[in-house]
Amino acid sequence: MENALGHPSEEPEGQVHRLNLSIRAKPENLGRIRRALVGMKLPDQVIREGTLLTSELVTNSIRHAGLGPDDHIDVAATWSGTVLRVIVRESGSGGPPPEIVAGSIRPSPGGQSGWGLYLVDKLATRWGTNLEGSAGFWFELEYPRAAGPSI
């Protein structure tokens, strides 16, 4: 939850378990999202990976979703104590995300862009685009991470 100023609400022990932000679709608002996730007091690895993946998805929305200056991006995060789930939802005229074909998210060698979904695919435990008809993405990070491939 968030209070009227868009800040995360706190549980009685000071631990934030839910975060809901609505920001204008502008790159200068990425810092606000990162600070809010850090305020959730997650394990270090989850903070590093969660802020990276969230920043990549929000940046993708800003650059590629056709959002205008009055459009918003909504970011919701929940922490269960073992799973961080983040939803990045676009509230604009951009329409639903394109269908992603397996293997199509690998960036060009030496490419300066195209890394966002690649990183999400490699670091997230699970991720997808099904947001009940609205445009955006979600991902989950489990902590501690189950043994498996890393990038």
Q: What is the DSSP string of 12-57?
A: TTS---EEEEEEES-GGGHHHHHHHHHTT---HHHHHHHHHHHHHH
Identify whether 151 is part of a domain: no
| Separation CA 32–CA 117 (nearest Å) | 21
Q: Which CATH number does the domain housing residue 116 bear?
A: 3.30.565.10
In-domain check, residue 120:
yes
Which residues 6+ apart lie within 8 Å of 16 measured at CB?
8, 9, 10, 39, 40, 41, 79
Confidence (pLDDT) at 60: 87
Does residue 84 sit within a domain?
Answer: yes
Residue 123: predicted pLDDT:
93
Which two structure tokens, joined as six digits, stand for 132? 């009940």
- pLDDT tens profile 23-42: 999 889 999 999 999 999 89
Per-residue pLDDT tens for 110-134?
A: 656 667 888 899 999 999 887 777 7
Q: Does the residue 5 lie in any domain?
A: no
Quick check: helix, strand or coil at residue 117?
helix
| Domain contains 103 | yes
Does residue 150 sit within a domain?
no
Using 50, 70 and 90 to split pLDDT, how confident is the model at 76? very high
Task: Confirm whether 62 is domain-assigned.
Answer: yes
What was the pLDDT predicted at 69? 74
Q: Report the side by side order of strands in the sheet with 83-91.
A: 18-24, 72-79, 83-91, 136-142, 126-128
Domains of the chain: total: 1
Q: Which of 16-25, 105-114, 141-150 shows the highest mean pLDDT?
A: 16-25
In a domain, 28, yes or no: yes
- In which region does residue 13 sit, left (phi positive, over 0), alpha (psi from -120 to 50) or beta (all else)? alpha
Summarize the confidence of residues 99-120 as an average pLDDT: 65
Looking at residue 107, what is its pLDDT? 61
Range(s) of the domain holding residue 72: 18-142
Lowest mean pLDDT among 14-18, 78-82, 114-118, 134-138: 14-18
